Each structure stands twice: as C-alpha cells, then as structure tokens.
Amino acid sequence: KAGVTQTPRYLIKTRGQQVTLSCSPISGHRSVSWYQQTPGQGLQFLFEYFSETQRNKGNFPGRFSGRQFSNSRSEMNVSTLELGDSALYLCASSFGRGTEAFFGQGTRLTVV
C-alpha cells in the first residue's frame, strides 16, 4: 500500500514569497498532521486535521496555515517567508488520534 506522499520534495524560495506544500495521506487515513524540523528546534508540531477540520494547532505565527480536503489530502501554506522558515516540513497520516502516525519523506524548504 502506498505511503504518505509529499510534494514537492525540494523548494527554494525568496524571503517575502509564499509557499504551498502538499500531502497525500495513506489510503483510509483521515487524520493529517504537519511538523517542522530544524537543527535548532528539532521536530515541532504545526497542525492536526481530521475530516477537513483543524483540531489542534502548534505555537507558530499566523503566517503558517493549512487545510484539508474531502479526500483527506492536505496542504499547508506559509506566507511572507522568512529565512528562519528554512526547514524540513513533514506530514504524517493516521486513522485518528492515539494510533500509529506514518510520515512522508518531507519537503525541504530553503528560503534565501
């Protein structure tokens, strides 16, 4: 069975631009969560979506937003990019809270 698919794998953007990252969960999974990984802060939780509803949000500024579609695919958007947004963005899917969360390969975002 196909795993979690994230696109694109790599992105280079300029400060001030915006970016949209995409995540397709494992078939049958209705929960999608997003995480940011940086060398300094490690892995930090961004959002949790279930059946198109954001159920939980991490401590990130409003420039970070997301959504989930009826087919459970999810997108996250970062507006007005800053150098500090350079990171590996990881998406995880699961059947729901309290179950195994499976991660995609991530999108490596570099802001220059």
Site for another protein contains 11 (CB under 8 A)? no
Q: Is 84 helix (H, G, I), strand (E, B) or coil?
A: helix
Site for another protein contains 56 (CB under 8 A)? yes
Q: Nearest distance from residue 16's CB to another protein, in Å?
A: 26
Site for another protein in 81-100 (CB under 8 A): 88, 90, 92, 97-100
Half-sphere exposure in the Cβ direction for 74 (13 Å, CA)? 35
Our CB check for another protein shows the closer of 16 and 37 to be 37
Our CB check for another protein shows the closer of 55 and 63 to be 55
Site for another protein contains 62 (CB under 8 A)? no
Dist CA 55 CA 39 (whole Å): 27
Q: What is the DSSP string of 14-64?
A: -TT--EEEEEEPPTT--EEEEEEEETTTEEEEEEEEETTEEEEE-S--TTE
Our CB check for another protein shows the closer of 35 and 64 to be 35
- Token reading at 92: 């995880």
Q: Note the residues at the interface with another protein (CB under 8 A).
A: 4, 6, 31, 33, 35, 37, 42-45, 48, 50, 55-56, 58, 88, 90, 92, 97-106, 108
